[in-house]
Amino acid sequence: MTSLHRLSGVYGAAVTPLKPDFSPDPDAVPALLDFLARRGCHGALLFGTTGEGPSFTPAERLENLRAALEFRLSNPDFRLLIGTGTPSLEETVELTRDVFNLGADGVVVLPPYYYRKVSDEGLFAWYSQVIRRAVPSDGALLGYHIPPVTAVGLSFELLSRLKDAFQDRFAGIKDSSADLDHARNLGERFGTDLLILNGTDRLFTQALQAGASGCITALANLFSPDLRRVWDAHQGDDVDETAQGRLSAARSISESYPPAPPLLKMLLERWFGFPRWPVRPPLLSMPLEIAEKALADFEPLRNA
């Protein structure tokens, strides 16, 4: 195998524990991270899409990061990535700077998603400001490519410019395009020059074969042992078809119950005994009838 980036591996796109009044519950964060670590995750992304990131203020994100860092005192190898992207340049800069000052390993940054027809030149200027002003020399920023949600994609030309301009600080991309051709083309274009973390469970094996360096997925909250089996097999130049088959099946089922956070929080409670955390509006908790149907659909995969 080629030399791996220090942030390579399997990451859980962690849900965000909430209290009944929809405020964050930082006291619940260490137990969730311990659960992910024990089930094979190398690290977690807090406040990504699965973590309802855009629904939370910078202060709320920092409070949960502090709780996560308490967990890492006894788990120093567990890596912490934080979603810091907002439509506001200044808010993104300040939050990113604060996240690194506290001790996060890296940030995953959405493009500014309000103006949907901005040019690559505009996006380069925006990301350049964030990196220059907020990312330390030993920090790592990953762009977050999720056009089905943001409608603002990160082109290969933009990625190349950012990598050329910020060799170490612009680490790579979280690719949530859910597009196999895109995953393959990323690998062909950049190879190991970029840290590519795939965001689609059903594509994990193929993305690794195409040059990805790991994954950050919502289903890692439930199926991280399978993700780790696929990862470990790939490190030995092998393929775990059984684990990948379960991941692909789970992804297909999950797509029948969007959005992901209410589904995952329901399953974490029913399968693993976590509290039934609410989601913050405009998301709504899963109605009982739909939850029961989802449980029945997932049951064949629960203990596979």
Q: Indicate the residue type of 102.
A: L
- Contact in structure between 257 and 263 (CB atoms under 8 Å): yes
For this structure, is 127 an active site residue? Answer: no
Set 144, 163, 200, 217: catalytic member? 144
Gap between the Cα atoms of 193 and 164, Å rounded: 10
- What DSSP state is assigned to residue 115? S
Omega of the bond leading into 259 within 30 degrees of 0 (cis)? yes
Q: Which of 163, 174, 205, 257 is catalytic?
A: 174
Among residues 11, 16, 49, 92, the one annotated as catalytic is: 49
Q: Is 19 a catalytic residue?
A: no
Q: Is 293 a catalytic residue?
A: no
Own/partner contacts of 36-41, CB < 8 Å, gap of 24 or more, are 36/12, 36/220, 36/221, 36/224, 37/75, 37/78, 39/224, 39/225, 39/228, 40/10, 40/224, 40/225, 40/227, 40/228, 40/229, 41/9, 41/10, 41/11, 41/12, 41/78, 41/220, 41/224, 41/227, 41/228
Rg, the chain, Cα only = 18
Catalytic residues: 49, 114, 144, 174
